[in-house]
Amino acid sequence: MHTYDRIGNYLNAFLHLLYPQICFGCGTDQLDTCKPLCNDCIQDLPYTEFFSIQNHPVEKIFWGRVDIEAAGALLFFTKDSLVQDLITQLKYHHNKKVGILLGQLIGSAIVSAPKFELIDVLIPIPLRSSKINSRGFNQSHVIALGIQSVCHRPIDSVSLRKRRWTSTQTLKSRSDRLEFVQDVFVLNNAAQIKGKNILLIDDVLTTGATLEAAAHCLMKGHPASISIAVAAYTL
Ligand SMILES: [Zn+2]
């Protein structure tokens, strides 16, 4: 072993003693340092298998609302679960390892799914620019990075933008909020997405309103198709 490698190993062992990396799921310290979960916990996550089947609940959400080529969610999201802990880590504690892992798992699922094989470009759901400035972190973009590491498709963070508007919390009624969400996105560069097969990426799918609005906005640029991939689907 090279001296530098040996020093590196000692240093890693020393850092591990000072700052042990532990699995979010089971607390073991036997895990790959670039991952937030050990392999057993990764294997035991509640996978939906939606990327490889047709006419599942996530695709049905968009029926009659917007023309989606294919859709899928990696995991089932339930309250007080490990999936909820992972999403909290990603969204509110900006834990990049979680986003990369979820993206890699989505990437592995779609790389072998025929209905996703034509994807040309990955588009993460954007945050409002004021929000990115204050947080410096877009969880959907981090998931896209993880997908890219497996699928090797370009990420387009420019074409779809979010308007700089007031918070949805200030809009009291449900109809106000639905109207608001329709107008939330702006197409920035129509030429860039013309004729492309887009994979739209988000962290959690609940009503589908945000993804529907983003897809409607992207359609103005005449892409060949729009598909959807999310990390978790709320039951
Ligand atoms: Zn574990």
Q: What percent of the chain has pLDDT over 70?
A: 81
Q: Tell me what the mean pLDDT of segment 8-23 comes to.
A: 69
Q: How far does residue 231's CA lie from ligand 1's centre (Å)?
A: 19
Confidence of residue 21 (pLDDT cuts 50, 70, 90): confident
Tell how far the Cα of 16 is from the centroid of ligand 1, in angstroms: 17
pLDDT reading at 181 higher than 70? no
How far apart are alpha carbons 9 and 97 in whole angstroms? 22
pLDDT reading at 1 higher than 70: no
What number is the average pLDDT over the span 140-159? 97
Distance (Å) from CA 39 to ligand 1 centroid: 7
Residue 76: pLDDT above 90? yes
92 CA distance to ligand 1 centroid (A)?
21
Given pLDDT bands bounded at 50, 70 and 90, which one contains residue 7?
A: confident
pLDDT confidence of residue 231: 98
Ligand 1 mean position, distance from CA 21 (Å): 11
Centre of ligand 1 from the C-alpha of residue 85, in Å:
13
Range scoring the smallest mean pLDDT among 5-14, 20-29, 108-117:
5-14
pTM: 0.86
Distance 232 CA to ligand 1 centre (A): 19
| Distance separating alpha carbons of residues 145 and 84, to the nearest angstrom | 21
pLDDT of 166 strictly over 70 = no
**Stretch 123-134: mean pLDDT:** 74
- In angstroms, what is the span from residue 122 Cα to ligand 1's centroid? 30
Biggest alpha carbon distance in the chain?
66
How much is the mean pLDDT over the chain?
Answer: 88
Query: Could you give the CA distance from residue 37 to residue 27 in angstroms, rounded to a whole number?
Result: 9
Residue 156: beta bridge partners? none
- Specify whether the CB–CB gap between 76 and 233 falls below 8 A: yes
CA 40 to centroid of ligand 1, rounded, Å: 6
Q: How far is the CA of 79 from the centre of ligand 1 (A)?
A: 19
CA of 29 to the centre of ligand 1 (A): 8
